[in-house]
Copies of this chain bind each other. A is one copy, B any other.
Amino acid sequence: MTPSLTEQLRTGNLFAGECPSRDVLKHVTSRWGVLILVALRDGTLRFSDLRRRIGGVSEKMLAQTLQWLEMDGFVDRVAYPVVPPHVEYSLTPTGQQVSEKVAALADWIEVNLPEVMAARQQREGKDAA
């Protein structure tokens, strides 16, 4: 309970139901939010680039999730007034920080997927045993 002296000032509290930090968490850990943040780590990408890169996203959800992340200050959107439209998305400095954490989680899952799958198998006949 008592925060250590070295602990940074913790303004938000995710365990409190009404804390706005819950919204930020929701955006970042949303189905496509995670993948967008990870994808943009490679650099600036266009809308269609992201769409191709992230398997299964619809245009709608990609646009909406990008807006969430843009509102939270994680993603920077630059639209060039040309025809046809040209819009580039990139991570803000703040966005790079979150994406780092998110990517670490994503990486862990991708690397340790076999162990998780194995664990599920174990559970299969657990009751019967």
Contacts from A to B (Cβ < 8 Å)? 8-21, 24-26, 28-29, 31, 34-35, 38-39, 53-56, 70-73, 94, 97-98, 101-102, 104-120, 122-123
Copies of this chain, whole number? 2
Residue of B with least CB distance to A67 = B123
Question: Which of A94, A107, A113 lies at the interface centre, i.e. has the most chain B CB atoms within 10 A of its CB?
Answer: A113
Q: Is the CB of B114 within 8 A of A54?
A: no
Q: Is the CB of B15 within 8 A of A55?
A: yes
Q: Is the CB of A38 within 8 A of B14?
A: yes
Q: Is the CB of B73 within 8 A of A11?
A: no
Question: Which of A15, A118, A122 lies at the interface centre, i.e. has the most chain B CB atoms within 10 A of its CB?
Answer: A15
